[in-house]
Amino acid sequence: MIVAVAADHAGYSLKEALVPRLREAGHEVLDLGVHAPQPADYPDLAQAVGGVLTSGKAARGILVCGSGVGACVAANKLAGVRAGLCHDSFSARQGVEDDDMNVLCLGARVIGPELAYSLVQIFLAARFSGAERHLRRLAKVRAIEDRCGTCD
């Protein structure tokens, strides 16, 4: 699977721990930065991941910041992005199966690299169920997204 990965300065170390493991697992990784632990703004990185996803160049994205919250908030402002902040295995799986989550957000100051990698594996292995109730709810989410894209 092609996976876009990005982190701000607070998430840099965790991103650096995840990228080689993803490659070893056979994923193609688009490392969108940061490439050094210098200050960076998570909205810029969320936009980079969102752009790669919506262009079809990657199937899923992973964003890392200090808490994961800021990256998640920013990512969810982008059309076509369904980001979830997950620090437990149930949410990482269920977010994909029920909500078609395509971006996993992680907090580098909240969890360590082993749990983070476990969550990434669960997220990447999960598949959207396609159940009628989930399709109906996604259609409603897309309708909100379409209306808000034209809101002033």
Pairing of strands 28-31, 2-7: parallel
Which neighbouring-strand residues pair with 83?
103
User: What's the rounded Cα separation, in Å, for the pair 92 and 99?
Assistant: 11
Residue 86 among the catalytic residues: no
User: What's the rounded Cα separation, in Å, for the pair 62 and 55?
Assistant: 16
Pick the catalytic residue: 65, 72, 86, 105? Answer: 65
Q: Tokens 């999960």 — which residue?
A: 126
Q: What are the residue numbers of the active site?
A: 65
